[in-house]
Structure 1
Amino acid sequence: MIAIRRPIKGGNRPSQWVNPDEVTPAQLSTVHGQVRTMPSSAAPSTPQRSIPSRRGPVPPRPTGMTRMGATPHSESGFDRPSLTLALVTLSAGVLALLGASWALTRPCVLGSCERLQRVEEMSGETLQELTESPSTDALSEAQQQLEAARRQLDGIPPWSRHHRRSRRLLDRLEGRSQQLQAARSPLGLAYQAALLSQNPPHSIEEWQEMERLWLDAIAELETIDPENPAYPLARAKLSEYRDNLAAVQQRAILERRGQEQVEAAQLAAEVARTQEGQARDLETWQETYASWRNAVGALMRVPPQTTAQRDARQLFQSYGPQLMSSEQRHRQEQAAQTLHQQGLRLADEARVAQDAQQWDTAIAKWQQAIAYMQQIPENTAYSDQRRPLIQGYTNALVQAIAQQQISEAMNRAQADLQRLCNGAPQICEYEVRRDRLQVKLLPEYVSRVQELDRQANRQNNEAAQQQLNQHVRRLIDGLELVSLNTGIRLTVLDPDGEEVARFAGN
């Protein structure tokens, strides 16, 4: 750092020190302007030395100044013009030195240029990232980074030895920026098309305008050179835009198809109204129903998210009830016939199951047959036939239920008797029939009970006698309960086949 002492004009004020880094270009320019206005005859002089000249030696000037800028004494021999010339010369030198110092402090003037290297690395990394990870955000980021790099290069002054290299890099960055801008143009067209596609449905004309924008965007993407850093992004967007173009074209087709379906529905409705006024029987109601069904079917085929769908919804509010009414009239006779046939079929299946003593199946079939017959509509050809059939099927159902109860009672009796007769030794054997139950005590069991009874009497063991009596009582109570639960008469026989007990059931 160089510090220069400059004189302060006026009075005996002390000199000030000037830092070259604090001198601005504007101040330097002002001072140079002042220097250019000085007389051309002025030249610096050095006190106390004689300067050789072609005209001979020049005597030394008196040393009468006590400090720079002070007024000389009258006896010193200095005149005011010489002093002014010396001050101007010194000021010009100071300012020249300050200008040189400022110029040397500009970026990339002395030594290596880290800014230039940093810009090269930053721009290269940015473009590489755009190439490796292409995206719209990466493209915008790359443009911003290139613009920042260009501003950095503009700060390198022309007198820098790196200026030529910086200009070459700046030209390359300018070319890259133009390439990136070329990639942004189709993105803008795509953005316009995307905005138009918001809040569908749209008319056919609007879909055609979107189609034009997508075609223009695709055409511009196809012109992007492979050397463009945005080329991978352009390739990706090209596929995406083609898909969007196909989607827009498909939507335009759907819009036209929707209008055609609405017109077809209106024509079918006119035919249906004419037929409905003349319908009297099953055949004419079938024709009327078919026409209304065609009208509603055309409305249902209108593609969703189209302007035609709104028209279809309004027409459906009228056509829907008409279709339901004609369908009901048409299907009444058809339903009556179908229900009658189903009821007859189920009744036949119920009889087969009943003959096979499959009571659960028989009951279910009878119930279904009755349900079908009950569903036959009034005022049809089969409405008069259903009443006697329902009565007969109900009687058969009651009988099947009774038979099922008997079968369940026999099954319960079988299980209960098996539980009562099991023991060590075996207590009894049994036989289960629909009209009676028979239990026969086994000889070994009877002998064992008699022996235990005699032992208890001999030993006068009242506890043993009481326990034996309780066992016999439980057996008798259990057999009686079986008879009561099943409602079937039960007979108990001794080992010789003689009846020893009888329970009447219900």
Structure 2
Amino acid sequence: MQLHSINQVHQSPSPEKSGCVSPIPNNEQLLVLAQIFSRKLAGEITDSQKIQVRCAISHQRVMVLIEHPEEIAIAPDTIVVLLAQTMESHPEYITHKVEFFFRKLGVKRPYAKRIVTFKIRHTHSTNSAVTPEHSSALTLRKSSSLITLQSITKSIPPLRMQAEMETNTDIQSSPWSKSSGLSNIFLGWLIAGITGTCGATYVLTRPCVLGECQALQAARKLDLDLKQLGENANNERDLKQLQTRIEETKINLKAIPRWSSRSAEVASLTAKLSTESQAVTHMIMGWEKGVTAIQQTRSFTDNINDLYTRQQLWRNAIAPLEAIRPHSAFYQIAQTRLSLYRNGLQSVNVQLLAQGRWQQRLNAAKAIATTASQRDTTAKTLREFQQAQNTWQTVINALQNIPQTSPVYLQAQQLLKVYQPKLIAAQTRVRNEQNSGLLYNQARNTAQQAQTAMQNSQWQQAVSLWQQALNLARQVAPGTSHYSQAQPLVDLYTSALEQARTQIINPDEIEIARRDLEKTCQGTTRICNFSLANRAITVRMTPDYEKTLEASLQPVAGKTENVTLVTNHLQTLQTALEAISDNADLPLFVFDAQGAQIYTHIPRSKAN
């Protein structure tokens, strides 16, 4: 045998023994058929996305492999009937016989096999063409005993032999099939299983069409027993088992064909069981919530938060039970539970009314304390610090007003021990912030006055003002909003103070310089006039002195010593003036009688 690719269409030349040849689905049709089966199972089975469906052709038969995880339990007969009914709606996929194999994921061999035989009629047209028609009658075969099934599975060869058997077969997988390799493996055991299949078979008609209807009988009985079954349920597990039974019954009812004479009753029972299944869901939810509420309320508490939690638990238990309608079989059971749960809720409500007032005040104080703490953390200005202080004061006032008779009095006292130190700290911060702001502003104002004094050469006053500004800036407390602003001012004011101090002249030194200048400027003819101002010595030659010098420099026949004498005199005058400038540590500026500057001398200390 030879395996064909996915795009090939292969038909076996061997017809069925009946002599009727049905059209063989091609590869694309097999893929579509697998998708149709998957969608059908999705509407019937929970977690159907974990079930894989694959289709193949061998010996002119459609073969279907259904793989599922071990934790998903399915009924092969029910599934086969469901899928066979689906095929009747798609006659283009039907062959005379269709084989179904069931296998658990991870297991090499199938655990069940079913064969469905479709009865095909042929009509002849004028040109003698044969057209198959598919009737609704079908036959389901399965292994007649466990021994037969075991013999079938034992006949499937191990994986090492599968490569030799993968021939003469077309295969398509559903969109979620893992790979073509898995499809080839499926072909290996599938063909081997077909070759080794033997044993007795029996014929079943479509359920509930003509004969007895066990699914319908079971549904009727369950409908009658629901009330008693609900009353016998002792816990959530019992209710969940009952709900599972209801769902299984609904699945069995869905397998009954729509053309059955009992279809109306089936529809009615299905709708009723769906309603009861929803009621069981509400019962389970209410039961679970109620058990939690009962456990929580066994111990006494006067904590308002615990009481609110218990109140919500009772409400959660009551809500699903109230959703159960009077016509439900579980209505009376739900009412019994509701009476118990409503009593529990009423008891909690009474406690809440008694304690709610003072507990609310305590909760409000705690909430405000949270806000105060946040403001403490983020405050950076005086206004923000004042807001934090006022918030803490509100908290303290609220807690102090809770009376001793209140059940939350002790809690209030404990909170006061925690919050009062925070109020004191906030008050201290506000005072520090206020003082720091005042000192900072005073320092800046004083510095402005010192700058004005320096501009007016009032050096002594400038020194005093700079010292005051520096002291004020140094008093700004660390941790306040002005501290980081005051630190640069400390360095700035220190430098300005030193600069002002250097401008102050010692009065004794000024007086000595004045006397020395007076001596130097005196003579038969007054040599110069002087002044001491703006931290400088200004010397101006007199007109008479300049005339005397000019007269002394007039050439006289046979005499040259006058020039030498004048030069020596001027050198002596210059040396004397420079000495006075150095001693007073003041710059010297010398002008002639007409006001033109003729000489400048900078003291040695300033020149360096």
TM range (shorter): 0.3 to 0.5
When normalised by structure 1's length, the TM-score is 0.36
TM-score by length of 2: 0.31
Larger gyration radius, structure 1 or structure 2: 1
Answer 1 or 2: which has greater strand percent.
2
